Structures are given as C-alpha cells and as structure tokens.
Amino acid sequence: MKCVICGIEADFIEERIDLGWTPYFYEAQIEHGPACPECSEVLLEMDSFGEMGLKERYRRKINYKETFVDKASMKGIFIQIAIQRTMQSILN
Ligand SMILES: [Zn+2]
C-alpha cells in the first residue's frame, strides 16, 4: 500500500505508523487513506469529531492514487500492532 495522495510507498506497516502515516482520513464523509507524513502535515487536520480530515481549501482538488476499500482490515492491523507492543512492554 502507498500514500493515496502523492503515491509514495513505505515497506512496512509498522514503519509507516512510526513515521507519522495517517491510516485514514475523510473528505466530505468519504474515507481515504493511508496518507504519508508529508501529505498529512500539509493537507490534513483534525476535525471537530476527532477524525483526520482534508483541510477545507484542498477539498475536491486531490486526485487520489488509490481508492481506500479495506477499512476494516486496515484498522485491524493497527490494533494488532498496538496489542503486540503492549505485550512486549509487559514481557520486557
Ligand atoms: Zn503523500
């Protein structure tokens, strides 16, 4: 998977989280993602519901590289990594 905005790729899902990738964000109630740290920084902001969303002035201007289809499994992966880290810190 790669950034849906600029198309940059990262090798590992875990690496993406560490480097500040945004797993998903909204544009007009439609979910997109993931977005790389650079795009997140410039184009995204936290909305009033606590979700990442595209900044007002960029709406309808992004030509997405990929359509975000598998939201459930993506969230599952992030949760799984969080659990693994918790387990590791307990064991260490
Ligand atoms: Zn990007």
- How many A from CA of 72 to the centre of ligand 1? 21
Number of domains in the chain: 1
Q: Which range marks the domain in which residue 77 is found?
A: 13-91
Separation between Cα atoms, residue 14 and residue 1, nearest integer Å:
12
Residue 4, domain member (yes or no): no
Q: Is residue 37 part of a domain?
A: yes
Ligand 1 center–CA 35 separation, angstroms: 5
CA gap 58, 18 in Å, rounded: 26
pTM of this prediction?
0.63
**7 domain residue, yes or no:** no
Q: Is residue 6 part of a domain?
A: no
| Tens-place pLDDT, residues 19-72 | 788 888 999 888 898 899 999 999 999 988 788 999 999 998 888 876 655 555
Q: Ligand 1: distance of its center to the CA of 86 in Å?
A: 29
In a domain, 40, yes or no: yes
What's the 41 CA to ligand 1 centre distance in angstroms? 9
